[in-house]
Amino acid sequence: MQDLVARLLYLLATLVGALPAPVQRAIASAVAALGRVTGSRESRVALRNLELAYPELSPDERAALQRAILRMTALQTLETLRLWTRPHARNLRLIREQHGVGLFDAALASGRGLIVVAPHHGNWELLNQWLAARTPISILYRAPDSKVGEAFLRLARAGGPDRVRQVRAEGPAVRQLWKTLKDGGVVGILPDQQPKAGDGVFAPFFGLPALTMTLVSRLAERTGAEVLFAWCERIGDGPDFALRIEAAPAGIADADPQRAAAALNAGVEHIARRDPAQYQWTYKRYKARPSGSGDDNPYLDLERRR
């Protein structure tokens, strides 16, 4: 039954993804406006994150950035439905610029293994498709709570070359990724989600302590794999993107998890600051607080309003 429902959802995604780009942009603008008027969860979380990460902005500046974030979030969702339901070769034509590909090719040729760190910036699903077109890759993902949701996700990401191995972020995942890297392979990791207790340390992110994964640094330090940051950044307001690949900040493979996590967050922050509207500010990045700090969950009052 869950596979049948997932296929029906995929059909619906195909219909929505087929809408012309101008229609998708108009829908995104309407959804963003509705979210602000109704005080949606995404709208409230985005504004709270901006208050925390950009205290120097005026209320009017934060409100303007909040509107842009909500619109980009809606547009990214609609565009992802299109990416999931069209041939990958066609999707890759949306990438008009490519920067740093030489770093990627050199890392592949070295045979040391490669960790691609892909923050939630721009459109990471388009990045996944570009990576899969270049090399077999194991992608770490957090499974949805719903079995139907997971079945849909696997179906949606299976439309391209059979070179993507989806690894659930649980139990044996670290061993699977470690083996891939020791064999000279490539793994992709989204670095800016809050890890489970015990799987991370607190490190600065936009000047505030944020619980940060240690998986990237542990894998890099133990396998000797190279670490590169990569993202697909929207160009203008159309469906065009620039692929960007950069070397990771120094210290990302440090044996000290605190230093390594700080380097990881510095890399993510550098990318997010390029265009804050394209970063996923609708996620509760600062929900966990350091033990004994006396800091409260900054989203607690938002949760009480639900």
Would you state the pLDDT for residue 19?
92
β-pairing, 226-235 vs 114-117, is parallel
Q: What is the dihedral of CA 4, 169, 127, 202, to 10 degrees?
A: 140
Which DSSP string do the residues of 11-73 spell out, in sequence order? HHHHHHHTS-HHHHHHHHHHHHHHHHHHT-HHHHHHHHHHHHH-TTS-HHHHHHHHHHHHHHH
Degrees, nearest 5: CA angle 91-97-100: 110
Selection from 92, 24, 32, 20 nearest residue 277 by Cα: 32
Query: In this predicted structure, what is the pLDDT of residue 269?
Result: 98
Q: Helix, strand, or coil here: 143? A: coil
pLDDT value, residue 158:
64
- CA nearest neighbour of 215 among 144, 94, 282, 117: 117
Tell me the C-alpha distance between 46 and 31, whole Å: 15
State the Cα–Cα distance between residues 199 and 268, nearest whole angstrom.
18
Q: What is the number of alpha carbons within 13 Å of residue 121 lying toward its C-beta?
A: 25
Predicted confidence pLDDT, tens digits, the chain (306 residues): 778 888 898 899 999 999 999 999 999 999 999 999 999 999 999 999 999 999 999 999 999 999 999 999 999 999 999 999 999 999 999 999 999 999 999 999 999 999 999 999 999 999 999 999 999 999 887 777 788 887 887 777 765 556 788 887 777 888 899 999 999 999 999 999 888 777 899 999 999 999 999 999 999 999 999 999 999 999 987 789 999 999 999 999 999 999 999 999 999 999 999 999 999 999 999 999 998 887 889 998 886 665
Report how far residue 62's alpha carbon sits from residue 51's, in angstroms, rounded to the nearest whole number: 7
Q: Which of 166, 173, 169, 100 is nearest to 138 (CA)?
A: 166
Half-sphere exposure of 231 (CA within 13 A, CB side): 26
For residue 191, give the amino acid letter: P
pLDDT at position 154: 75
